[in-house]
Amino acid sequence: MSANEAAVTKPIPVPDELTAPFWEAANRGVLAIQHCAACERYIHPPEAVCPYCQAQELSFRQVSGRARVYTHTVVRDNITRGFAEGEPYVIGIIELVEQERLVLVANVVGVTPEEVEIGMPLRVTFERLTDDIALPQFEPEEA
């Protein structure tokens, strides 16, 4: 590998005003999801206004990190710079146990692509990308 190739990395998430609490929690190894106190629903990705009841007082709550595979795909030939090294890998639509259709997009790790199936129980894990950013991902939940 040349020096140029070694410098190629995956894009690093850039927190903004809405997503900063999510990333600050993830950096501490905590999965925190925006929550509306008015209608008691979780919201992801974060919004300025509750999409269910239009309330504006939203906060972030720690969730269990338990989830299941809602659906998934296997990436075997990603031409985007920085992603080829880990192929094949699994991108999942991950449904958190706290609320129906409360989903995140994340990698499913610690399992071969062939073993991933819809409904598979998962738990959150964090991949450290930089000193400030840890990426929530999901691995099979141990019995």
Q: Does residue 55 interact with Zn ion by CB under 5 A?
A: yes
Element (H, E) at 5: helix 3-6
How far apart CA 130 and CA 23 sit, in angstroms, is 12
Please name the amino acid found at residue 3: A
Q: Does residue 32 interact with Zn ion by CB under 5 A?
A: no
Cα of first residue to Cα of last residue in the chain, in angstroms, is: 40
Stretch that binds Zn ion, among 29-37, 67-75, 107-115, 119-127 (CB under 5 A): 29-37
Among 20, 39, 84, 118, binds Zn ion (CB under 5 A): 39
Among 50, 106, 108, 122, binds Zn ion (CB under 5 A): 50
* CB of residue 101 to Zn ion, shortest distance in Å: 15
With contact defined as beta carbons under 8 Å apart, do 8 and 84 qualify? no
Q: Does residue 70 interact with Zn ion by CB under 5 A?
A: no
Secondary structure letter of residue 78 according to DSSP: -
Interface with Zn ion by CB under 5 A: which residues?
36, 38-39, 50, 52-53, 55
